[in-house]
Copies of this chain bind each other. A is one copy, B any other.
Amino acid sequence: MPDTTVHRRDDVIAAAERLFAERGFQATSVRDIAEVLHLQPGSLYAHIESKDDLLWDIVTAAADRFFAAVQPVVDSDLVTTEKLRRLITAHVGVVTSNLSAAAVYSTEWRHLEDQRCRQFAGRRDEYEAIVRGLVHACIRQGVFAAVDEKFATLLILSSINWIYQWYSPDGPMTPEEIARKLTDMLFNGLRRAGA
């Protein structure tokens, strides 16, 4: 009697995250989600209002996790480069702790309905502004060269978001090692000092 199984809303979210990440939001139906949970689609509606609501819940929860992870770093008394380093570490931690959610957050949010899409884009902009603020401070303090601030921010964000594409929990590097290597390369460049 699979359909009488009590499912927690978390299970529904996890299943939707996985399917949206693998197949894409638009190619996933409520029926597909119900199927992997061994539920009738009708029973699934006890847990959710609509597929759009699921996507909204997934991407806002992901955004919440990113903000929650980096806010203490930004609010800290650390020097700015160390803040940026720890922000990158915190971000990589969030990405690697839930790769499906990171994939949906990175690529599927554009399928949100208009108003939600704008609202979500606003939060992404807010997050980008936090990173850009740190890059700006590093340049102002003379620790970073006079690089293009916006472009540097995009490079940092793209390299930390891309990780969901290749990271494997069974791989040789821990999330902390990935963050350290990445930060070293971004800060110091590939060139050997003096070369």
Q: Which residues of A contact B (CB under 8 A)?
A: 23-27, 107, 135, 138, 142-148, 151-152, 154-155, 158-159, 161-162, 165-166, 178, 181-182, 184-193, 195
Contact = CB atoms under 8 A, between A and B. Distances in A.
Contacts of A135: 190
B148 A188 contact: no
Nearest to A158: B162
A195 B27 contact: no
Nearest to A162: B158
B185 A191 contact: no
23 contacts: A23-B26, A24-B24, A26-B26, A135-B190, A142-B192, A142-B195, A143-B192, A144-B190, A144-B195, A145-B188, A147-B181, A147-B190, A151-B181, A152-B185, A154-B166, A155-B182, A158-B159, A161-B162, A162-B162, A185-B186, A185-B189, A187-B189, A188-B189
Given A158-B158, A158-B162, A162-B162, A191 B152 contact: no
A181 B27 contact: no
A155 B162 CA distance: 9
